[in-house]
Amino acid sequence: TELHGNGSHRLVRAPRGTDRSCKGWGQEAALRMLMNNLDPEVAERPEELVVYGGTGKAARSWPAFDAIVRELRRLENDETLLIQSGKPVGVFRTHERAPRVLLANSVLVPKWATWEHFRELERKGLTMYGQMTAGSWIYIGTQGILQGTYETFAEAARRHNGGTLRGTLTLTAGLGGMGGAQPLAVTMNDGVVIAVEADRARIERRIQTRYCDALAESLDEALALAGEAAAAGRPLAVGLLGNAAEIYPELARRGAKPDFVTDQTSAHDPLNGYIPAGFAPDEAAALRANDPDRYVRLAKAGMAAQVRAMLDFRKAGSVVFDYGNNIRQAAFDEGVTDAFDIPGFVPAYIRPLFCEGKGPFRWAALSGDPDDIRKTDELVVSLFPENGRLRRWIEMARERVAFQGLPARICWLGYGERERFGLALNDLVKRGELRAPVVIGRDHLDCGSVASPNRETEAMKDGSDAVGDWAILNALVNASAGASWVSVHHGGGVGMGYSLHAGMVVVADGTDDAADRLRRVLTTDPGMGIIRHADAGYDEAIESAGEHGVRIPMRD
């Protein structure tokens, strides 16, 4: 580990290799993944401990970060460290098969669950925004969302354009930690995309990491580049320097009709995530500091203008969908009463996958050796030879994804597949074919781990969108099953008051104990997706339960 200087100018990077500074691989993995979240290659603003998604942080403060590192190094193999919104608050003797770390981030009592109250608490140093994988230490850079974004655009292409985006134009905005996956996801589907981004540095970062191809300084330049590529059937990703609250309405005024329209600015957080029309990023920062109330008003007005334009595109015949940042809600609150005519991406494209326990499964090589991931790529393809989509994804990822921080891979796997692959990974470690253990985790945006009525649980068949019990049960059962660390969060993706969600990570260190944990956790976790969707009445989930022998008491 290199820690230079102090306060805001320090550099954090996860240790590599097999030498541990902790007493077990569970603790060591947590330590490395916490540090990896703050690696400058990985985090959007590491000096402020911000990993991605507006102000999604890995630890509450630098002293809290130091204390977490210290405690993880001291932690025995039968102890559990408790983290309360990014700060270590206790260590208890539990037992060897219990999680080594339990985390609760940004959770507020429902009546108080607003950004206003959250910010008051944050100012007093009492809480932190954990987003999804920032505060739960399993963010792996933009790749973490890439396959989900790729699958979403692939599904949109299948439904609306004969299975390809070739020759089509997609309009989107936001090239942040997650939104930055959009340009590559579109070009991987052979399409052309204009992604509006207000911050030049973000566009340049995506170009550097090969997620985006070109930067355009003006709308006309972007349209010319995009038009030419689309006409030639050539994939192209253009980052357009501009503000979505201005560009979308301008395009609508011109009567443009992009084939697909969405948005991934950090609209879930009107103070920190969305730049009002007419402001450069540094001017926005000044306004945010000097007059936060005015900032929020202007940001919301901008979102309303952007959503109105999205509704115009929809009327003109574009395929428009919300991409999970709660922008419809902000516009609705501003009086755009038809904002929810725009469908959310989960009910539109993702839910059938959730019904089979499928979701964004990911793993990272603690060795730091890209060759370890190469071997795991070969393993996953060989385990599921019948899965052509998976093979295509892995081939593309190997060719086009630049690793950020510890080498990692993501691929959507379902119930049964996750357990099989997890055990096979553990075997590779056991046989010494990988240079060090592997951590296995997932996004909180998964089949059975989240309640989020404007996103993952939008328009559930039985109306159970806002039932939060499932996310809590997910965390409880994964802790009982022996995950290495388990987290419960509030407000990820869509902001305060709008979601509850849980995460888990389990370490494959090649031991028999790890095999037991993997077998249990990689069954309970996707199993929650099946029972949650079966309970809501989805036939695909009920069939999955039958096929896999998942016991659902009142359906037996």
322 near ligand NAD, judged by CB under 6 A? no
353 near ligand NAD, judged by CB under 6 A? no
Which one of 113-121, 177-185, 222-230, 331-339 is the stretch in contact with ligand NAD (CB under 6 A)? 177-185
C-alpha to C-alpha distance for 313 and 305, rounded to whole angstroms: 13
Residue 60 per-residue DSSP state: S
211 near ligand NAD, judged by CB under 6 A? no
Instruction: Report, in Å, the least distance between residue 46 CB and ligand NAD.
Output: 13
Question: Residues 42, 353, 445, 514: which binds ligand NAD (CB under 6 A)?
Answer: 445
Catalytic residue among 22, 212, 355, 411: 411
Q: Is 268 annotated as a binding residue?
A: yes
Question: Residues 324, 437, 491, 526: which binds ligand NAD (CB under 6 A)?
Answer: 324
Contact letters for ligand NAD, residues 154-173 (x by CB under 6 A) = -------------------x
Q: Is 54 annotated as a binding residue?
A: yes
Catalytic residue check, 411: yes
Here the tokens at position 534 are 């079966």
Q: Concatenated DSSP letters for 333-362?
A: HTT-TTGGGSPBHIIIIIHHHHHTT-EEEE
Strands 319-320 and 260-261: parallel
C-alpha to C-alpha distance for 491 and 164, rounded to whole angstroms: 34
C-alpha to C-alpha distance for 184 and 208, rounded to whole angstroms: 12
What 3-state DSSP class applies to 527?
helix
C-alpha to C-alpha distance for 384 and 130, rounded to whole angstroms: 34
Q: Which residues contact 232 (CB under 8 A, 6 or more apart)?
A: none
Instruction: Report, in Å, the least distance between residue 348 CB and ligand NAD.
Output: 12
Tell me the residue number closest to ligand NAD, measured at CB.
176
Question: Residues 24, 26, 88, 174: which binds ligand NAD (CB under 6 A)?
Answer: 174
What 3-state DSSP class applies to 77?
coil
Question: Residues 59, 69, 157, 196: which binds ligand NAD (CB under 6 A)?
Answer: 196
274 near ligand NAD, judged by CB under 6 A? yes
Tell the burial category of 8 from Cβ atoms under 10 Å away from its Cβ (0-12, 13-18, 19+): exposed
Give a three-class secondary structure readout of 489-502.
EECCCCCCCCCEEE
User: How many residues at the interface with ligand NAD, by CB under 6 A?
Assistant: 35
Question: Residues 130, 135, 302, 527: which binds ligand NAD (CB under 6 A)?
Answer: 302
Instruction: Report, in Å, the least distance between residue 202 CB and ligand NAD.
Output: 4
Contact letters for ligand NAD, residues 475-514 (x by CB under 6 A) = ------------------x---------------------
C-alpha to C-alpha distance for 26 and 31, rounded to whole angstroms: 9
Q: Which residues contact 204 (CB under 8 A, 6 or more apart)?
A: 215
C-alpha to C-alpha distance for 74 and 93, rounded to whole angstroms: 13
Q: Which residues contact 403 (CB under 8 A, 6 or more apart)?
A: 141, 143, 370, 373
Give a three-class secondary structure readout of 188-243.
HCCCEEEEEECCHHHHHHHHHCCCCCEEECCHHHHHHHHHHHHHHCCCEEEEEECC
Nearer to ligand NAD, 309 or 508 (CB): 309
410 near ligand NAD, judged by CB under 6 A? no
Q: Is 114 annotated as a binding residue?
A: no
Nearer to ligand NAD, 274 or 361 (CB): 274
Question: Residues 135, 176, 249, 453: which binds ligand NAD (CB under 6 A)?
Answer: 176
Instruction: Report, in Å, the least distance between residue 104 CB and ligand NAD.
Output: 19
What 3-state DSSP class applies to 171?
strand
C-alpha to C-alpha distance for 5 and 95, rounded to whole angstroms: 37
Q: Where does 81-170 have alpha helices with state H?
A: 115-123, 143-160
Residues 30-59 that bind ligand NAD (CB under 6 A): 44, 52-54
One-letter identity of residue 320: V
Q: Is 53 annotated as a binding residue?
A: yes
Which one of 57-65, 102-110, 286-294, 320-328 is the stretch in contact with ligand NAD (CB under 6 A)? 320-328
Nearer to ligand NAD, 264 or 487 (CB): 264
Burial 305-344 (b: 16+ CB within 10 A, else e): bbbbbbbbbbeeebbbbbbbbbbbbbbbebebeebbebbb
273 near ligand NAD, judged by CB under 6 A? yes
275 near ligand NAD, judged by CB under 6 A? yes
Q: Is 323 annotated as a binding residue?
A: yes
Nearest to 525 by CA among 407, 443, 457: 443
Residues 252-271 that bind ligand NAD (CB under 6 A): 264-268
Nearest to 407 by CA among 443, 434, 381: 434
Nearer to ligand NAD, 24 or 54 (CB): 54
Strands 500-508 and 438-442: antiparallel
Residues 77-136 that bind ligand NAD (CB under 6 A): none
Tokens 């919300």 appear where? 322
197 near ligand NAD, judged by CB under 6 A? yes
198 near ligand NAD, judged by CB under 6 A? yes
Question: Residues 145, 261, 460, 475: which binds ligand NAD (CB under 6 A)?
Answer: 145
Binding positions are: 53-54, 131, 177-179, 197, 202, 243-244, 264-268, 274-275, 323, 493
Binding positions for NAD(+) are: 53-54, 131, 177-179, 197, 202, 243-244, 264-268, 274-275, 323, 493
Footprint of ligand NAD (CB under 6 A): 44, 52-54, 145, 148, 173-179, 196-199, 202, 243-245, 264-268, 273-275, 302, 323-325, 445, 493
Provide the annotated active-site residues: 411
